[in-house]
Amino acid sequence: MPSTPGTKRGDTAPRACANTDLALFFPAEDSPSYTKPNEQEHVAQAVCARCPLAAKTICLENALRLPAQDQWGVVGGATAAQRRTIIRGREAARMIGAAA
């Protein structure tokens, strides 16, 4: 199991969340709203905001490899609802590109 949200073994970038309880990033209930994260998601996003850009990007891209329906918690500074929106946008862009 990864030691911090969105990481894979072998990632070496420093992480703001390294000494933070993972339960903060994975609340019992995700906010369904893209624009209105719940209080716990806000706190987790604040931890992610302190992370170096490279580390946050690694976490987010690793999380975006999962299907939209498997998104949960805050990873790479984005809530599950925000990541689902990103994934759907990327899928739509691929479909448009394939049709062109």
pLDDT of residue 7: 53
| Cβ-based burial of 23 (10 A; exposed 0-12, middle 13-18, buried ≥19) | exposed
Angle between helices 53-64 and 80-99 (to 10 degrees): 70
pTM of the model: 0.78
pLDDT of residue 11: 58
Report d(CA 52, CA 95) in Å as an integer. Answer: 32
pLDDT of residue 10: 52
How distant is the alpha carbon of residue 83 from its chain centre? 6
pLDDT in tens, the chain (100 residues): 344 555 554 556 678 888 899 899 988 777 777 678 888 999 999 999 999 888 889 999 999 999 988 999 999 999 999 999 999 999 999 999 887 6
